[in-house]
Amino acid sequence: MSIEKYHWLKDVFNQINFINFPHGIIINGPSGVGKKILAKEISQKIIANFTDGLDKQNQSLFNTDHHPDFYLLDRDKIYLKDIIKQKKESKYWDEEKGYKDVVSFLTLTPSISKNKVVCIMNADSMNEESQNALLKSLEEPSSYSYIIMTTSRPRSLKQTIYSRCQVLNIPHISSYKIDEWLNSQGITDYSSTDFPSYSMPLNILDDIQSDRHNSYKEFILIINEFLNLKIDQGQAIKYINDLDIAFISKINYFVEFLKILLKSKLTSESLSGVYKNFNSKKFSNLKISNIIVELNELRDDFYDVSSINETHVLNYFCSELKQSIRQQ
């Protein structure tokens, strides 16, 4: 996937000093901004020995994630066994890359390139034990080894990791720039305003292509019917559960909705579109702010715990909404 199609990533890439390149890089930015695309573009540059490109054979190996000197660790949750092997068992062995863990991969000398690169997506999902296991590879890197990580939350890793890495923050993309990019992709029926304000270009494109572009509007309609007593709490939770989106997205929807409500109250601006019916609602700024704080805390906990009872969480926050937002 060429970085040329993503001008905001190209801008970051062009500012990197490859002459004095660090052995650890952290790419930080919101979900859907293209961190993986940027990470692979940087990796390709390293695998090409910091030249402008790979030959045809190496390019093919890299594009299919089969290059023996490139290891892409792309999972929602990174565990200790992904960083360092726990047992000498055959199931942990990869014929091309050796043991399927970061530390073992980096101890092997390069096969084709002069360098080896590990890309760890969602590095902020590592627990403290996993981060500690990674530290030695960052503290005493081989001259040929490089580690690139992506995070969706700033300062979500141990300070000792940040002290050994360069951080690349992908700048905020304006609604205008997102709409301009969507138009360049042939999408003219939708704009960034049809999606939550935090939605990034690749999120929006994926939602449209996966026919999930109306999920947020459906969520607001469910909340509207619930608060207007057209459906009960059990029905509301069922309808929210039935939305074809991840649980963390549902939490983000709650936060987005409440922030828009709070902003309208603070600025005395009338709501429009799917929010119009909430103009007649009465609520305490403090109560709404407190719910937002709780949702944000839950969002942080989501990355640190193995499982969350989604129905229980939705039941709690729907109850809080019902008690906090009333008809004037």
Task: Retrieve residue 24's tokens.
Answer: 């650890």
Task: State yes or no: pLDDT of 191 exceeds 90.
Answer: no
Rounded mean pLDDT of the chain?
Answer: 90
**Does position 310 have pLDDT exceeding 70, yes or no?**
yes
From 47, 39, 46, select the one nearest 12 (Cα to Cα): 39
Q: Give the three-state DSSP class for 211.
A: coil
Cα four-point dihedral sign 56, 57, 58, 59: positive
Contact residues for 135 (Cβ-Cβ < 8 A; gap 6+): 158, 160, 161, 164
**Residue matched to tokens 């309808």:** 239
Reduce the DSSP state of residue 75 to 3 states and report it. Answer: coil
Whole-Å CA distances, 284 to 94, 258, 259, 277: 57, 12, 13, 17
Distance CA 40, CA 63 (A): 9
* Spatial CA neighbour of 271 closest among 228, 322, 213, 220: 220
In this predicted structure, what is the pLDDT of residue 303?
Answer: 66
pLDDT bracket for residue 190 (50, 70, 90): confident
Residue range 81-114, pLDDT digits in tens: 999 987 655 555 555 555 579 999 998 899 999 9
DSSP letter for each residue of 2-56: -GGG-HHHHHHHHT--STT--SEEEEE--TTS-HHHHHHHHHHHHHTTTSS---H
**Model pTM?**
0.82
pLDDT of 327 > 90? The answer is no
The CA-to-CA distance between both ends of the chain, in Å, stands at: 52
Q: What is the mean pLDDT of residues 295-302?
A: 84
Closest CA to 65 of 119, 122, 142, 3: 119
pLDDT band at 240, cuts 50/70/90?
very high
Nearest to 181 by CA among 14, 28, 33: 33
C-alpha–C-alpha distance, residues 313 and 319, integer Å: 10
For 215, residues 6+ apart whose C-beta sits below 8 A from its C-beta are 207, 243, 244, 245, 249, 253
